[in-house]
């Protein structure tokens, strides 16, 4: 299918929805001979929770890297919040938040030091910063871990700190790479509520996950990518109202059935197992 489609937003007024929060055209990233992101074009409107799916190695994290300035693409253009974005876009970077795949935490710091460092980098005033650091650590259940350095945190605790660091400055777009992985069910329920509130205010979330049920319940729009190209892009919230998702003339009543149709591989049973 044509991988150039525009999603229409539900958040914001008419003028706002004309400018997509994220607009990517012909984005390409190569690592040597491998084209990890292959001529990718997509738009995400403000106020939407966008799920970015695909099998392992499909190019999701590489795309997020390009969209947040962690990776320089080889070709293509990126516009965030209506402005051209490159890895040098300092001002624009302050308006986005990112939780990358490999958690780049400073292991020798305490959680409150790490969050304070991040908040200062984003220009928060000291009083707001102190309040938010304290509130985030309390709500995330990390207030009692004040005597531990990040290197001593469990995987889920590290993930929560990375989430807190991504939202502390109340960004306009939040990029999350596998945000719920390793987080306990109560924590996941809370973070999902936070994200719903975040987009209800007209802000935008772009997230990857392998948990399709999460996408069905949480996301408005979804792109499924395979080998760096878009295999499907559409409105997944239809499923909640009993509508089916269409592709290649077939209709699917779960995201899993669509996903398997598009990117599922045939596999052999391990006879020796
Ligand atoms: N720094 C790098 N150097 C070389 N190849 C890379 C690098 N980063 C990613 N790749 C390759 O690019 C492709 C896409 O990787 P990417 O991490 O974007 O996949 P992904 O969709 O995020 O997968 P996963 O679901 O496993 O997280 C893979 O083939 C990967 O091996
Ligand atoms: Mg990844």
Give the tokens for residue 193: 């509520």
Angle at 66 between CA 232 and CA 47, to 5 degrees: 60
Strands 83-84 and 96-99 come out as unpaired
Give yes or no for a contact between 190 and 139, defined as CB atoms under 8 angstroms apart: yes
Q: Model's pTM, two decimal places?
A: 0.92
* pLDDT at residue 13 in the model: 47
Of ligand 1's atoms, which has the minimum distance to the CA of residue 178? 27
* pLDDT at residue 1 in the model: 39
Residues 6+ positions from 189 with CB-CB distance below 8 Å: none
* pLDDT at residue 267 in the model: 86
Tally of residues, the chain = 273
Domain coordinates in residue numbering, the chain: 1-85+174-179+203-264
Averaged pLDDT, 217-244:
94
* pLDDT at residue 91 in the model: 94
Instruction: Grade residue 17 by pLDDT with cuts at 50, 70 and 90.
Output: low
Q: What is the pLDDT of residues 111-141, one digit of tens each?
A: 999 999 999 999 999 999 999 999 999 999 9
Ligand whose nearest atom lies closest to the CA of 229: 1
Question: Any residues with Cβ below 6 Å from ligand 1, and which?
Answer: 31, 34, 36, 54, 56-62
Of ligand 1's atoms, which has the minimum distance to the CA of residue 58? 21
May I ask the CATH class of domain 1-85+174-179+203-264? alpha beta
* pLDDT at residue 231 in the model: 96
Q: What is the pLDDT of residues 174-208, one digit of tens each?
A: 999 999 999 999 999 999 999 999 999 999 999 99
Specify the residue with its C-alpha closest to ligand 1, atom 25. Answer: 56
Q: How far is the CA of 166 from the centre of ligand 1 (A)?
A: 22
Q: How far is the CA of 166 from the centre of ligand 2 (A)?
A: 17
Of ligand 1's atoms, which has the minimum distance to the CA of residue 225? 21
Which residue did the predictor score with more confidence, 72 or 264? Answer: 72
Instruction: Grade residue 2 by pLDDT with cuts at 50, 70 and 90.
Output: very low
Q: How far is the CA of 220 from the centre of ligand 1 (A)?
A: 25
Q: What is the DSSP string of 72-129?
A: --SEEEEEETTEE--TT-HHHHTTEEEE-SS----TTSBHHHHHHHHHHHTT--HHHH
Averaged pLDDT, 204-217:
95
Q: How far is the CA of 229 from the centre of ligand 1 (A)?
A: 13
Q: Which percentage of the chain shows pLDDT scores above 90?
A: 83
Statement: residue 105 has pLDDT above 60: yes
């Amino acid at each position: 299918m044509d991988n150039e489609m525009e999603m229409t937003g539900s958040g914001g007024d008419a003028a706002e929805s004309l400018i997509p929060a994220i607009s990517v055209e012909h984005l390409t990233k190569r690592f040597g001979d491998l084209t990890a992101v292959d001529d990718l074009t997509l738009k995400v409107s403000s106020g939407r929770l966008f799920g970015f799916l695909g099998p392992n190695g499909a190019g999701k994290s590489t795309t997020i890297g390009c969209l947040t300035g962690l990776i320089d693409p080889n070709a293509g253009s990126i516009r965030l919040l209506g402005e051209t974005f490159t890895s040098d876009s300092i001002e624009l970077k302050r308006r986005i938040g990112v939780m990358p795949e490999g958690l780049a935490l400073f292991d020798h710091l305490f959680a409150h030091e790490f969050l304070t460092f991040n908040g200062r980098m984003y220009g928060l005033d000291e009083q707001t910063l102190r309040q938010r650091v304290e509130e985030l650590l309390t709500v995330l259940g990390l207030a009692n871990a004040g005597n531990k350095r990040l290197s001593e945190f469990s995987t889920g605790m590290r993930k929560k700190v990375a989430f807190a660091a991504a939202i502390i400055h109340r960004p306009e777009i939040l990029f999350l790479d596998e945000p719920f992985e390793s987080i306990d069910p109560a924590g996941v329920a809370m973070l999902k509520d936070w994200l719903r509130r975040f987009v209800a205010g007209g802000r935008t979330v772009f997230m990857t996950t392998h948990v399709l049920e999460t996408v069905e319940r949480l996301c408005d729009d979804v792109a499924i990518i395979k080998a760096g190209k878009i295999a499907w892009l559409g409105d997944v919230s239809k499923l909640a109202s009993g509508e089916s998702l269409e592709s290649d003339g077939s209709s699917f009543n779960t995201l899993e059935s669509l996903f398997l149709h598009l990117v599922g591989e045939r596999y052999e049973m391990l006879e020796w197992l």
